[in-house]
Amino acid sequence: MVPQKLIVLRSLNMNIIGVESVVGGSGGTSVVAEYAAALNDMGLRTIALDLNPENQLGLHFGLSLSESAGVSQIDQASSNILDVLFESVDGYPFIPFGYVPEVEWPVAIETLAERLSSLLKPILSTPDRVMVIDVSRSAFPLRDWVYRHADVMLNVIQPEPRAMPALIRYSEHQRRLQVAANCRSLVMFNAVAPHLDLSRDTLELLRSQITADAQCPILIHRDQHIPEAFASQKPVRSLTASAQSNRDFDALALWTVSYLNSDGFSADAEDALSGAKGSFPTAEGSSQKAEGSFPGAEGSNNGAIK
């Protein structure tokens, strides 16, 4: 079976969560796919939207390589966003970016950014509550649109040698733009391997440079099931129910539900996660707001990122 275009009917409000890789290869697209699937399985109807011109997100949900439809391909005169809203065979809704030749990316990105607000209006008449968006670091107009409209930005990074300089660039640029847009900006650690010295030590270094309230309280562990599921064009939970990554993304979904139902990460949300903390490491002090999250490095001895 192949993904089907989804027919939707009624109206509810929607929250927007952006996901952006701090450095290429951090796994942002995989995070979007697994995260959206977990939210749906938790009962929070969620659409995954691909705003990355590489057009990879739909592959996680079984979209054919020959399918060119997507949000970038909507004809202004005769089509709307519902024409490119697909549902996987497992019931997960998603909107691909659509195929665009690489030489045409700059024009396609600029054009889509100008139209995106009007294109997404019909989504407000769907029974969906959350949109998780795959954001490209280089697609600046689309990236900036997400910053302006997202409730939360999850900035994905893996604990590996490129992480520290990438984190410095993030703190000096993306995070400032996100905060200026009144969007909560959180760093999320992906593909954590506590059994490997390099991963564990790098994670400790990175976390020491970011105050806890600027970190997503859930870590995603390295899990070979993720690339294997991608090869099968399905989320991990559709293939291997017992995978560690399923438990991680379930915890992330639970945190999200609690966060969106409260003003920040409340004490009730902490209690809700208490049973998961043994499996899903959390950042202490995660109930604080993100403002002033990166301590200034000037005049300090701890090398913290400003």
Q: What are 134's strand-pairing partners?
A: 19, 50
Structure tokens at 65: 């390589």
DSSP-derived letter for residue 249 is H
Beta strand extents in the chain (DSSP E only): 4-5, 15-21, 46-51, 86-87, 93-95, 130-135, 152-157, 184-189
Report the run of H or E that residue 134 belongs to, with start and end: strand 130-135
Report which secondary-structure segment, H or E, holds 186. strand 184-189
- Residue 282 within a domain: no
Mean pLDDT, residues 15-22 taken together: 96
Within 10 Å of residue 125's Cβ, how many Cβ atoms?
13
Residue 299 lies in a domain: no
- pTM assigned to the model: 0.83
Give the model's pLDDT for residue 79: 75
Q: Which residues constitute the domain of residue 148?
A: 4-273
The answer to whether residue 280 is domain-embedded is: no
| Axis-axis angle for helices 140-149, 105-120 (nearest 10) | 20
Let me know if residue 164 belongs to a domain.
Answer: yes
Residue at 300 is within a domain: no
Statement: residue 292 has pLDDT above 90: no
CB 84 within 8 A of CB 112: no
Please indicate, yes or no, if residue 187 is contained in any of the structural domains: yes
Residue 75: predicted pLDDT: 79
pLDDT of amino acid 262: 76
Q: What is the CATH number of the domain that holds 265?
A: 3.40.50.300
Task: List the one residue out of 58, 63, 59 whose CA is nearest residue 231.
Answer: 59
Tokens representing residue 77 in the block: 């005169």
- 3 neighbors 87 (Cβ within 8 angstroms): yes
Which pLDDT tens digit goes with each residue over 92-111?
999 999 999 999 999 999 99
| Domains identified in the chain, total number | 1
- Edge-first strand listing for the sheet containing 93-95: 4-5, 86-87, 93-95, 46-51, 130-135, 15-21, 152-157, 184-189
* pLDDT range class, residue 14, cuts 50, 70, 90: confident
Per-residue pLDDT at 286: 32
pLDDT recorded at residue 276: 32
Whether residue 279 lies inside any domain: the answer is no
pLDDT tens-digit series, residues 49-87: 999 999 999 999 999 999 999 999 997 656 789 999 999
Model pLDDT for residues 243-290, shown as the tens digit of each residue: 999 999 999 999 999 988 875 533 333 333 333 333 323 333 333 323
pLDDT tens for residues 158-180? 999 999 999 999 999 999 999 99
Is 298 within the bounds of a domain? no
